[in-house]
Amino acid sequence: MTISKGDKLPDVTLVKATENGPEKVQSGEYFAGKKVALFSVPGAFTPTCSVKHLPGFVEKAAELKAKGVDEIVGTAVNDAFVLGAWNKASGSSDITMLADGNGDFAEALGLTMDGSGFGMGKRSQRYSMIVNDGVVEELNVEAPGDFKVSSAEHMLGQL
């Protein structure tokens, strides 16, 4: 079943990419008590993800925070080392990367896709959501191959 507006996020282990290396976090605790702009991509360093998705959140970070967002989080079915390198290369200190290396978070959300045709295996769909105290307030899931509703610009209009 796919997560919906009004649902609480599932509690799974994610790995935060930090300056000191990977740090395990529980999603239930991590998203509690704050408003988070969460976006997910099929893979770090992939074309749309690197050219449009992440840069949009970097560019709009101050505007998102001015509208009440406490933290901007990016996730993908990649390991914390890859997400940390991607954030260092294309992101900013305004973005927190949470690795979903085994796809447990994407699967618990019901938002997986099969990227086997591209040699990528099971991945997360492209989406964004506004999460307030662990509850989904807005959910924007892209159609395959699209990049419209999961953008930072679209999210700004929802805040």
- Distance spanning both ends of the chain, measured CA to CA: 26
In angstroms, rounded to a whole number, what is the distance separating the alpha carbons of residues 10 and 105?
A: 7
Q: Which residues of 122-140 are buried (b: 16+ CB within 10 A; e: fewer)?
A: ebbbbbbbbbbebebebbb
Nearest to 39 by CA among 133, 154, 157: 154
Show which residues are catalytic. 49
DSSP 3-state of 86: helix
